[in-house]
Structure 1
Amino acid sequence: MDSTPDTSETKSPKGFAAIWPIILITALFFFWGMANNLNDILIPQFKKTFTLTDFQSGLVQSAFYMGYFLLALPAGFFMRKFGYKAVVITGLCLFALGALLFYPAAEIRQYNWFLAALFVIASGLAFLETSANPLMTILGDEKHAAFRLNLAQAFNPLGSLVGLWIGQTFILSGIEKLDAADFVREAKAVQTPYLIIGAVILLWAVLVIFTKFPRAATVNTHDADEAKLTTGQALGGLLKHKHFLMGVVAQFFYVGAQVGVWSYTIRYAQSEIGITDKAAASYVIAALILFAIGRFIGTGLLRFVPATKLLGVFAVINIALTGYAATAGGQYGLYAMVGCSLFMSIMFPTIFATSVRGLGPLTKTGASFLVMSIIGGAALTAVMGKVSDMSHIKTAIFVPLLCFVVIALYGLGSKSAKVDMTKSH
């Protein structure tokens, strides 16, 4: 690809031509929300289809978030060299490829092939998430950048809910005991949804390719000061910022807690109140609704309460909720699991914003490491699965409890600050 700007895109689009790129990029927030939360459906689906342990089924998240971990820094480099638009196109193509790989994986009924497909999807999402937030800020008047970004982020939980609905309606059958014919059908249940997703994502890539974007979206995006830094200088500079290092650790444990709680809510419901996977998916949908509500409530509270203090208080509440879920169990334990999402809502953006505060020319490099820290979703979900296999699904909830302890220490131990909540996961 050539980083030289296209002369046809040197003038800023007007009218609908200016709105259309915003629509295309806003949809990305919807798409990755859908992809992320479809994993919560795939875990119980693959567990019964391939007769897996909880640890083995949890590898769905491990493969997925490993893609984020390994591609975050390359995506940042690619973005600085070729511009935002090229990164978006690359991300969409990888996303579509991973979705289409579900078809051969289901045909040969190999779990490892599904894990590889999920890795490819996440690799694409790493490119999309690295580019979409900053890209939204330049697609229009700078005065309205925060509004555009917040509007786009509102579509993320909507995508999550649609992903769960697709999984509950078209993938989960509600059949718990399978015979020989059922195993084949259950494996192939993912084919049509993911083929459609792959086709839509490919279409979106084509639309982006043929859409004129503002010049700033297609040229080298290096910050002059950051461009002067070598990789060694950037890393050395980041190591001097204690609050940033603590933030990376807190983000690792937050994503581990979020992914772990959502991934095993269906499993918890099946174990504790004896319902089918299809019925249990409704509790994950309820959790996502609370998560969306929490974002609005939390953002409002941040106008009056210092960000790190609110983060710490919400983490303490979730320590209590996960503690109850891990010890009491039953219907009320399940309610506690679902209730965690209300208080998780502000955690990712708050940790992100407070971690990069004051980094100056190190901000872009620091942001890449914060994206990499979501490997916690892979590592700690696998730990939860292992604990569940060795003991009980209830006991596994102590893992996110410990995660919330780390987050509480970060929030309550940090200097209070009000932050701009325009960056989100």
Structure 2
Amino acid sequence: MTNQNYRVPLAFLTLSFFMWGFITCLNDIMIPHLKELFSLNYVEAMVVQFTFFGTFAIVSIPMAKVIQKIGHKKGIVTGFMVIALGCLIFLPAAAYASYGMFIFGYFIMATGVTTLQVACNPYATLLGKPETASSRLTFMQAFNSLGTTIAPFFGGILILVAGATATTVAGKIWAVQKPFIILAVALVLVGLLFAFVKLPKIDTNKSKDDSSSTVNALEDRGSIWKYKHLILGCVAIFMYVGAEVSIGSFLINYFELPELGAITGLTAASYVGYYWGGAMVGRFIGTYLLKEFAPNKIIALFSSIAIVLVVISMLTNGNIAVITIVAVGLFNSIQFPTIFSVALRGLGKYTAIGSGLLIVSIVGGAIVPIIQGSVADTVGVHHAFIIPVICYLYIVFYGLKGYDKSVFLTSK
């Protein structure tokens, strides 16, 4: 199959990236809603993210092995159906006002999202030339960011505003149930669409880098644990997702602070949308930059700028603090897909299991928000953003020292 033949399957894959981005970002809207509904502190509220992203650590490796057997296509279909099931669990959770049932629903949804991640991320890197894998995955992740950009507006109107204006218990319950009924139906339809779409089969056990390209294939080292750039990449994914999710999870509560203008409701939700929208814009820009500059250099540069922006927000108030923290999204943009593709370079038959390990590392989105929540309960939300700063510092290290020079040229 020629590279041109990959355009159709890649186009369909963008739909998967969009949908799981949309689902994941709704957490940022649900957290303050559930925090108020169940009178939770910050650590208790962050159990949502702990459960959602902690699921990645539990099911990523098993799902990587399952997808090796059933193929990427069936894995994608399965992922959509499982997410839809999780959405439906929110219906009785809202009806019975059960926080525990909400958490269970998040576990099921996250299982489906994990399945999509394990199936789609490595698949996207393999559908084309290896030297353009970072650029290709970044472009597709831009559509993931489109989903995260739209979700806060969707959730803000149907959950935050509808819940706040509802005058009856039934109305408040419906404010939660309605959006997830819509999502469940949409997810089932998309899953059925993929069931009938013809996608090329890629045998990762036989996958090799193009010897005619500038990418150098690595020798089989006998164990996945002997690929240093993968292991350090797993830590980088842990840190990146932890930082990104922590910032997004605290934004609405952050904007509600008096020193930032006491922004609430749909306005606060729209700013969350701008944060994720920045990631979308940055990924489209990054698609070009990654064709012109070495991926590791872009990783280090964007992480350094993110550090500066977060520190400025921590040290200021009002519009400056709001604008700088929202602008971090722009420089989050290329981090995940670029780290992911760099860490997978040269793994050959270990690509699927390497992808599973990288997806496991998304557990950073479970652990780092809990840590930031603990800091926020102690010193306040404003200065708790020191935790993402620490995460970005490690990513700068990975961009400068953690990558493997033997799998791509860094002389651009």
Q: 1:205 aligned to 2:207?
A: no
* From 223, 239, 247, the counterpart of 2:205: 223
Cα deviation per residue 1:89-138 (whole Å; 9 max; x = unaligned)?
21111111001111000000011111110111110011112212455578
Q: 1:317 aligned to 2:305?
A: yes
* From 109, 116, 122, the counterpart of 1:128: 116
CA distance in 2, matches of 1:52, 1:187: 18
* From 390, 399, 419, the counterpart of 2:387: 399
**Which stretch of structure 1 is more off in the superposition, 54-63 or 104-113?**
54-63
Contact 1:250–1:351 under 8 Å retained in 2: yes
Q: 1:165 aligned to 2:153?
A: yes
* From 243, 247, 250, the counterpart of 1:261: 247
Contact 1:138–1:216 under 8 Å retained in 2: no
CA distance in 2, matches of 1:248, 1:21: 27
* From 315, 338, 352, the counterpart of 1:327: 315
Question: Could you tell me which amino acid in structure 1 is paired with residue 230 of structure 2?
Answer: F
Q: 1:237 aligned to 2:237?
A: no
Deviation at 1:253, TM superposition (A): 0.5
Question: Could you tell me which amino acid in structure 2 is paired with residue 399 of structure 1?
Answer: I
SS of the equivalent of 1:190 reads helix
In the other structure, the counterpart of 2:59 is 71
Deviation at 1:285, TM superposition (A): 1.1
Deviation at 1:261, TM superposition (A): 0.8
Going from structure 1 to structure 2, the CA distance change for 1:188 and 1:62 (only over 3 Å counts) comes to farther
In the other structure, the counterpart of 1:7 is none
Contact 1:49–1:186 under 8 Å retained in 2: no
Contact 2:85–2:184 under 8 Å retained in 1: yes
Cα deviation per residue 1:141-168 (whole Å; 9 max; x = unaligned)?
989x979866644422222222112101
**Aligned CA-pair RMSD:** 3.1
Deviation at 1:188, TM superposition (A): 3.8
CA distance in 1, matches of 2:12, 2:77: 11
Deviation at 1:173, TM superposition (A): 2.0
Contact 2:344–2:351 under 8 Å retained in 1: yes
CA distance in 1, matches of 2:346, 2:381: 41
* From 261, 271, 291, the counterpart of 1:273: 261
SS of the equivalent of 2:111 reads helix
CA distance in 1, matches of 2:17, 2:53: 17
Deviation at 1:316, TM superposition (A): 1.6
Question: Could you tell me which amino acid in structure 2 is paired with residue 127 of structure 1?
Answer: T
Contact 2:138–2:286 under 8 Å retained in 1: no
Question: Could you tell me which amino acid in structure 2 is paired with residue 296 of structure 1?
Answer: F
Q: 1:247 aligned to 2:229?
A: no
Question: Could you tell me which amino acid in structure 1 is paired with residue 355 of structure 2?
Answer: A
In the other structure, the counterpart of 2:212 is none
CA distance in 1, matches of 2:169, 2:365: 28
SS of the equivalent of 2:388 reads helix
CA distance in 2, matches of 1:137, 1:308: 17
Deviation at 1:208, TM superposition (A): 3.1
Going from structure 1 to structure 2, the CA distance change for 1:242 and 1:135 (only over 3 Å counts) comes to closer
CA distance in 2, matches of 1:301, 1:416: 20
* From 63, 69, 88, the counterpart of 1:100: 88
Deviation at 1:312, TM superposition (A): 1.3
Can you give the 5+ residue segments of structure 1 that lack an aligned partner in the other structure? 1-11, 13-17, 227-233, 421-425
SS of the equivalent of 1:262 reads helix
Q: Percent identity?
A: 34
CA distance in 2, matches of 1:157, 1:195: 22
Deviation at 1:322, TM superposition (A): 1.2
Instruction: Trace 1:27-42 onto structure 2 (pairs within 5 A).
Output: 27-42=15-30
Contact 1:295–1:346 under 8 Å retained in 2: yes
SS of the equivalent of 2:263 reads coil
CA distance in 1, matches of 2:137, 2:376: 39
Contact 1:353–1:419 under 8 Å retained in 2: no
Deviation at 1:357, TM superposition (A): 2.4
Question: Could you tell me which amino acid in structure 1 is paired with residue 228 of structure 2?
Answer: K
Contact 1:174–1:279 under 8 Å retained in 2: no
Going from structure 1 to structure 2, the CA distance change for 1:82 and 1:159 (only over 3 Å counts) comes to same
Can you give the 5+ residue segments of structure 2 that lack an aligned partner in the other structure? 209-219
CA distance in 2, matches of 1:415, 1:142: 20
Deviation at 1:184, TM superposition (A): 6.0
TM-score (norm 2): 0.85
Instruction: Trace 1:136-215 onto structure 2 (pairs within 5 A).
Output: 152-173=140-161, 185-209=171-195, 211=196, 213-214=198-199
Question: Could you tell me which amino acid in structure 1 is paired with residue 103 of structure 2?
Answer: L
Going from structure 1 to structure 2, the CA distance change for 1:151 and 1:399 (only over 3 Å counts) comes to closer
Going from structure 1 to structure 2, the CA distance change for 1:239 and 1:19 (only over 3 Å counts) comes to closer
TM-score (norm 1): 0.82
CA distance in 2, matches of 1:296, 1:200: 26
Deviation at 1:185, TM superposition (A): 4.1
Going from structure 1 to structure 2, the CA distance change for 1:109 and 1:419 (only over 3 Å counts) comes to farther
SS of the equivalent of 2:292 reads coil
In the other structure, the counterpart of 1:15 is none
Question: Could you tell me which amino acid in structure 1 is paired with residue 266 of structure 2?
Answer: K
